Amino acid sequence: MQTYFYQLADEITARMQGNERFTCTYSAEDSDFVRLNHSAVRQAGSVTQRALALDLINGARHTSESISLSGDLELDRARINAMLARSREKIPHLTDDPHHLYATEIHSSEHHGKNQLAQTSDTVPAILDAGQARDMVGLYASGGMYAGFANSLGQRNWFSSYNHNLEWSFYAETDKAVKSGYAGFTWDPVEFQGKVDWANEQLDVLSHPSHTIQPGRYRVYISPYALYDVVGMLSWGCFGLKSHRTKQTPLLRMLEGKEKLNPSVTVLENTRDGIAPNFQDAGFVKPDTVTLIEGGELRSTLVSPRSAKEYDLPTNAASSQEAPESVEILGGNIPQDSILRELDTGIYINNVWYLNYSDRNACRMTGMTRFATFWVENGEIKAPLSVMRFDETLYRMLGDNLIGLTAERDLIMDSTTYQARSTESGRLPGILVGEFSFTL
33-76 pLDDT, tens digit per residue, is 999 999 999 999 999 999 999 999 999 999 999 999 999 999 99
Distance CA(138)–CA(34), nearest Å, equals: 8
pLDDT in tens, 404-425: 999 999 999 999 999 999 999 9
Mean pLDDT of 151-174: 95
**Mean per-residue pLDDT over the chain, rounded:** 96
What is the domain extent for residue 297?
216-438
What is the reported pLDDT for 89?
97
Distance CA(274)–CA(185), nearest Å, equals: 11
* pLDDT at 345 > cutoff 90: yes
Q: How many CB atoms lie within 10 A of CB 399?
A: 19
Q: Do 281 and 409 have their domain in common?
A: yes
What CATH number should be reported for the domain holding residue 76? 3.30.2290.10
Share of the chain above pLDDT 70, in %: 100
Of 340, 338, 321, 269, which is closest to residue 299 (Cα–Cα)? 269
The answer as to whether 100 is a domain residue is yes
Mean pLDDT of 346-352: 95
Count up the domains in the chain and report the number.
2
What is the reported pLDDT for 440?
87
Q: Do 127 and 235 have their domain in common?
A: no
Q: Do 158 and 261 have their domain in common?
A: no
The answer as to whether 177 is a domain residue is no
What is the reported pLDDT for 322?
97
pLDDT in tens, 294-304: 999 999 999 99
Q: Residue 340 — pLDDT band, cuts 50, 70, 90?
A: very high
Q: Do 240 and 346 have their domain in common?
A: yes
Q: Do 298 and 430 have their domain in common?
A: yes
Residue 332 makes CB contacts below 8 A (sequence gap 6+) with: 264, 404, 405, 406, 407, 429
| C-alpha distances in Å from residue 390, one per residue of 218, 224, 386, 395, 437 | 11, 17, 13, 15, 6
List strand residue ranges (DSSP E) for 11-94, in order.
Answer: 20-37, 40-58, 61-69
* pLDDT at 364 > cutoff 90: yes
* pLDDT at 347 > cutoff 80: yes
* pLDDT at 174 > cutoff 80: no
Q: Residue 384 — pLDDT band, cuts 50, 70, 90?
A: very high
Q: Residue 176 — pLDDT band, cuts 50, 70, 90?
A: confident
The answer as to whether 138 is a domain residue is no
- Say whether 245 sits in a helix, a strand or coil: helix
Q: Residue 190 — pLDDT band, cuts 50, 70, 90?
A: very high
Q: Do 387 and 317 have their domain in common?
A: yes
What is the reported pLDDT for 145?
98
What is the reported pLDDT for 370?
82
What is the reported pLDDT for 371?
84
What is the reported pLDDT for 173?
81
- Say whether 14 sits in a helix, a strand or coil: helix
Of 143-147, 170-174, 244-248, 334-338, the range with the lowest mean pLDDT is: 170-174
* pLDDT at 175 > cutoff 90: no
CA atoms within 13 A on the CB side of 63: 14
The answer as to whether 184 is a domain residue is no
